[in-house]
Structure 1
Amino acid sequence: MFSIKYTRKLVLPVLSLCSALLFSSCDSNDDSPSPDATESAYVMSLAVQGSDGIFSYYTVPFSDLMTGSLSAKGQGIEQSGYFDFTQIGKTIYSIGGLDDVNVVGISKNESGELKQIGNVSFPNSLSDIVKADDNTLIGVEMASTSDVIKFHTISPNTVTVTNTKQHLVSAITNLKAPSYSGMAISGNYLYLSYYISDPTTYATPHTDKAQIAVFTYPGLEFQRVIEDTRTGPIGGFNTKSGLIEDEQGNVYALSHTNPANGYSQVTNKPGILRIKSGETSFDQTYFFDVDQITGGKTISHLKYLGNGKAFAEINTAARNQQAAWTDGPLKSAIIDLNNKTINYINGLPEHAGNGRRLAALQEGKFVYMAIPEESSIFVYRIDTETNTATKGAEVEANFVAGISKL
């Protein structure tokens, strides 16, 4: 598996490649410019491994991602353990794992400095948080050790829980340990994608169909499980991008069953399914045949950009040749969900992922992303119109857990 000792409760911290990188953090070279909070729109969450093997995450503001060297240097907000970062609106949500199962909001105060908002704890680490509306977030608990799935309604302003709704796991499957892979809210429904993974061996013996549980929103009442045998289960271990939603409310479901992303077997071809806005069934007229279009490759990560386009990380190895739990080798591309086309990015090296949520920031036509290269990590600015990339600043960290703009 991945280089850091894996437990079912651990949401994958880093890949073997990133663990091998040796970077400094708070004691980095003095010639690295210090971030100026009043001028720093960009925010990076940098993971640095200590001599004890424990990671510390430094969420730090920067004014520029394209020049110089970026390091924590003891600034920003520090958190030790394991954390997953997702930006919703003007707030970054830090979702704790391992022994720290809290959720903290990170935003800016009137002086432009980073501040923490709230600090709510849960019995188990949240699998994810998504936006429901301007005043509501939905968090989900799906732990392999629990026989219930819990949805938490969260206030984004205070990061406090306003309501909790729970369902028995047996409502969506008679198999043990459904693993979270994606969540989307469209119209009057919440869609929850999952796959089955043995909590002891992590084997995935059930890969013959895609399954999504449908709940009402805002009532969060269970409706049904929808299935499709044209492809396998949706999403993969810890990528959290199994479901994406477009401006019209259509929900797209990504399936790859990659050994590199947690699957022990392969049954069906990789592809993307669609649920039309307001529907509770898969659209049988739509299938993005990823296997055919890529020549046998798979999409590992997906980030919706707008106007039917999405940023994709494509595994360049055939599934029968992928090394297990490696999240790579990856090549970046822009895909058109409507026209079913793929355009690879020029100027980016083939790379490994972090085995976790894709850390990428969209700013207009650009996407910013950190790419490991041999013994270094560099930011790249990707032009999604010309499909080209420009190399930027070097990052002093073991890996980048999040890139945001506040």
Structure 2
Amino acid sequence: MKLKSTLALTIAAGMLLASCSDMNETTPQNPGNYILTVSPAASTGVADYLLTAPALDTGTVSTNRNGVEQDGTYRYYVTHNGKFFSMLYGQGNPGAVTAYNMQGGKLNKLTNFQTETVQAFAPVNDDLLLMKISRSLTAPTSSWYKVNTNSLTITSEGTVNTLDLTGVGELAHFTWLKQVGTKVFAPYQTINDRSFNTKYPDQASIAIFNYADMKLDKVITDKRASFIGMYFTDGLSVQESGDIYGFSPAAATTGGTLSSTKPSAILKIKSGTTEFDQSYFFDVEAASSGMSITSWLYVGNNTYIVNAAAKAEKTTGFPAGKRVGIVNVVDKTYKAVTGMPDIASIANLTTNNYSPKDGKTGYVGVNLKDGTSYIYKVDASTQTATRGLKVEGGTVTAVQHLN
């Protein structure tokens, strides 16, 4: 790991503190602390709108003369330390980051700045840790940045050689990042080209960094499953007990073809350890008659609401499941959710979703092929879904909450 000398670099060069004249925002029609990110209908290559709502169970919100328009397409979102961050994926170009807080049910823009386009990011302490990840075997340097969410400045940055990290002649491409105590766990897939192909489809790997200096502590690998998570998909979860679980979608490709011989599965790392627990293995496909997890939402009490795909529905690349199930990682159970629209009518489900962490409740965006969109409330305790808030004028891309 190489630490750059430009510590305490502020974002001031690219930061534009919002003023009343440049906010370009109106009082929302539905003020509230829930945030829905929506791509306008009947348009391509347009920016998302941020809508607010007082509740997700009932009502209607619309993009018509409403919401906060974002700059640029391909936005990703994270909530941390009382702020909502909207991050532009610049496809190789610098990406804008906009930060908001909530005032009276209305989003208040705090700052807008530019960083490198990053492919993984996560809250760590009071920071956002950002990672710009190389996909070039001849230029294998990946970069990380720590953005302090109080000062809204980059406090440190550095690099890691992701080719050297794997030791197998392929690049480590981090699927996401996760704080575990004073460490950062970074699950990765190994890739040998920009299409994410690999010669090693049957292994799950996690790089463990010491967060204070971002030095690599160790790499752990388990060959009972394929890689954990997916591109832009958080596959690692830390429980209240400190135990860590990670799901594999079994989505590795070689030569453009799905190639993992392992099932979609869940692995475990016991609290306080930095090794995979060899006594634990949850074969999700066996428990669910062939389903593969493609994303998940932790609701508490060892329980997850998962998006899943049947074996016949899995595709190369980054499969997006249109089915919803309930997984208990301790009981090793998978139960299908009833009450969702017929799968043939679903265009897509959101993967950036909200739970109050009450052990049972989660909210998932459902975009239908007829152009209508809703938020569905999922009760994990009864494995049922109920249609809630209607979203007019666009496709829901994320469901969040900000106090």
**TM class by smaller structure:** 0.7 to 0.9
- The residue aligned with 2:160 is 167
Partner of 1:249: 242
AA in 2 matched with 1:256:
P
Match of 1:282 among 273, 276, 279: 276
Q: How far apart are the structure 1 equivalents of 2:231 and 2:301? A: 28
1:127-179 per-residue CA deviation (whole Å, 9 max, x = no partner) reads 2322222x233222213255222232221124321111321113312434433
Indicate the residue corresponding to 1:140 in structure 2. Answer: 131
Q: Could you tell me how far apart the structure 2 residues matched to 1:371 and 1:138 are?
A: 29
Q: 2:47 aligns with which of 53, 56, 61?
A: 56
What does the per-residue CA deviation read over 1:225-280, in whole Å, with 9 as the maximum and x for residues that have no partner? 11111111112233x222111112222121122379x9732222221111122322
The separation in 2 between residues aligned to 1:171 and 1:116, in whole angstroms, is 41
Q: Which moved more, 1:159-168 or 1:345-354?
A: 345-354
Instruction: Output the CA distance in 1 between the equivalents of 2:131 and 2:196.
Output: 21
Is the contact made by 1:49 and 1:56 (CA closer than 8 Å) also made in structure 2? no
Question: Is the 2:347–2:369 contact (alpha carbons within 8 Å) kept by the matching residues of 1?
Answer: no
Out of 66, 71, 75, the position equivalent to 1:83 is 75
Identity %: 23
1:358 aligns with 2:351: yes
Which of 354, 363, 367 is the equivalent residue of 2:362? 367
| Superposition RMSD in Å | 2.6
Instruction: Name 1:220's counterpart in structure 2.
Output: 214
- Structure 1 residues 337 and 397: CA distance shift in structure 2, 3 A: farther
Cα deviation 1:197-216 (Å, max 9, x = unaligned): 44444434420211111111
The 1:250/1:120 distance shift into structure 2, 3 A limit, reads: farther
1:302 lines up with 2:293 in the alignment: no
* 2:285 matches 1:291: yes
Report the Cα offset of residue 49 of structure 1: 5.7
Distance 1:100 1:141, change over 3 A: closer
Provide structure 2 residue ranges, at least 5 long, that are not aligned to the other structure. Answer: 1-26
Among 327, 333, 343, the residue aligned to 2:335: 343
Alignment match, 1:388: 384
Does residue 102 of the first structure (1) align with residue 96 of the second (2)? yes
Structure 1 Cα separation of the partners of residues 162 and 314 of structure 2: 31
Q: Tell me the amino acid that sits aligned with residue 242 of structure 2.
A: G
Q: Distance in 2 between matches of 1:304 and 1:254?
A: 12
1:6 aligned partner: none
- Alpha-carbon distance in 1 for matches of 2:318, 2:211: 36
TM-score, L = length of structure 1: 0.81
In 1: Cα distance, 2:320 partner to 2:301 partner: 28
Taking a change above 3 Å as real, the CA distance of residues 327 and 269 of structure 1, as seen in their structure-2 partners, is closer
Structure 1 contact 82–96 (Cα < 8 Å) conserved: yes
Cα distance change, pair 377–326 in 1 and its aligned pair in 2 (3 A): farther
Aligned length: 363
Q: Is the 8 A contact 2:185 2:209 kept in 1?
A: yes
Larger relative contact order (CA 8 Å, sep ≥ 6):
1
Cα–Cα, structure 1 residues 323 and 147, in superposed 2: closer, same or farther, change >3 Å? closer
SS in 1 for 2:163: helix
Contact 1:203 1:264 in 2 (8 A): no
